[in-house]
């Protein structure tokens, strides 16, 4: 028995009406899917890892379930170089459900600070790029993206070696006292030591000294270190080479001229 062409046409018309109505209702349903991104947080692990955490809440008040929810993030410096990235996947969110997850990305502190000394000595902004993808009713793919910034506080902000103070120690040596100051804007305490070598203008190491530092989060540090320099090797100009060794990072040399 042959199906009348008219019946086929009606069936096709109803199919397209249903498909369009479903698509429209699914798109309209997106209005009732709400995202709440919490403030990004930074923390440190015991093995020297820096963890970026973003709390995310998804409330699905739409008509349909959500499938294959995926959140991807890239964190980069102000020059656009990627520091770390990560993704969080939720296979299914039922309609009328709310889900809260913590979206984490990890990088090594030493790797971060070795890449660019600005992270050590200058406050800056980190760029965060977010992309969210999902399937409405497990059929219709939807994507959205956004970007924003988060503040980075430098652990050795405004690090300064003050004017060296010279005093005769004995007949052949000077005692040199070098003031040290910086502000710890980082989220962690800066605990460790600073080693400094003094070079004269003939590129000779004429003395070295070391001092312990302990600067808590959001504090000002003021201290000094001592060096004993042969009088015969002193020159009016030269340079200091500064090395930092702390619980969370190693760096050096930072070259600072004198004279």
Reported as a single tens digit per residue, the pLDDT across 66-120 is 888 898 999 998 888 888 899 999 898 888 888 888 889 988 887 787 778 889 9
Better pLDDT: 65 or 208: 208
Q: How many CB atoms are closer than 10 A to CB 161?
A: 19
Peptide bond before 253: cis, by omega within 30 degrees of 0? Answer: yes
CB 183 within 8 A of CB 212: no
pLDDT digits (tens, 9 = 90+) for 14-53: 544 444 544 555 555 566 777 787 888 888 887 778 898 8
Its CATH architecture, for the domain 157-258, is: Sandwich (2.60)
Q: What pLDDT, on a 0 to 100 scale, did the predictor assign at position 63?
A: 74
β-strand 49-60 against 98-108: which pairing, if any?
antiparallel
What is the distance between the alpha carbons of residues 194 and 172, in angstroms, rounded to a whole number? 26
For all residues of the chain together, what is the average pLDDT? 84
Q: Is the pLDDT of residue 13 over 70?
A: no
CATH of 5-152, one of 3.40.50.720, 2.60.40.10, 3.90.79.10, 3.90.650.10: 2.60.40.10
Domain map (residue ranges) of the chain: 5-152, 157-258
CA–CA distances in Å: residue 94 to residues 30, 55, 143: 14, 20, 19
Fold: same for 5-152 and 157-258: yes
CB 45 within 8 A of CB 74: no
pLDDT digits (tens, 9 = 90+) for 209-242: 999 999 999 999 999 999 999 999 989 899 999 9
Q: What pLDDT, on a 0 to 100 scale, did the predictor assign at position 26?
A: 53
Better pLDDT: 61 or 119: 119
CB 155 within 8 A of CB 186: yes
Nearest to 183 by CA among 218, 208, 149, 209: 218
């Amino acid at each position: 028995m042959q199906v009348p062409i008219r019946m086929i046409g009606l069936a096709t018309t109803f199919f397209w009406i249903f498909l369009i109505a479903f698509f429209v209702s699914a798109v309209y349903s997106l209005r009732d899917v709400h995202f709440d991104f919490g403030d990004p947080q930074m923390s440190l692990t015991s093995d020297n890892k820096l963890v970026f955490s973003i709390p995310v809440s998804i409330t699905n008040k739409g008509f349909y379930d959500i499938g294959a929810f995926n959140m991807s993030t890239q964190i980069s410096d102000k020059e656009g170089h990627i520091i770390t990235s990560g993704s969080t996947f939720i296979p299914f969110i039922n309609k009328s459900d709310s889900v809260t997850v913590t979206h984490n990305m990890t990088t090594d502190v030493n790797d971060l600070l070795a890449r660019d000394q600005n992270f050590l000595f200058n406050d800056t902004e980190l760029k965060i790029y977010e992309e969210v993808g999902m399937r409405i009713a497990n059929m219709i793919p939807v994507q959205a993206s956004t970007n924003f910034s988060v503040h980075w506080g430098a652990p050795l902000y405004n690090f300064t070696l003050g004017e060296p103070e010279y005093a005769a120690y004995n007949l052949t040596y000077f005692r040199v006292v070098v003031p040290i100051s910086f502000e710890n804007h980082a989220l962690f305490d800066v605990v460790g030591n600073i080693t400094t070598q003094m070079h004269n203008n003939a590129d000779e190491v004429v003395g070295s000294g070391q001092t312990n530092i302990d600067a808590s989060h959001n504090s000002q540090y003021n201290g000094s270190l001592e060096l004993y320099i042969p009088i015969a090797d002193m020159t009016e100009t030269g340079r200091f080479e500064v090395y930092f060794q702390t619980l969370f990072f190693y760096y050096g040399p930072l070259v600072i001229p004198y004279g």
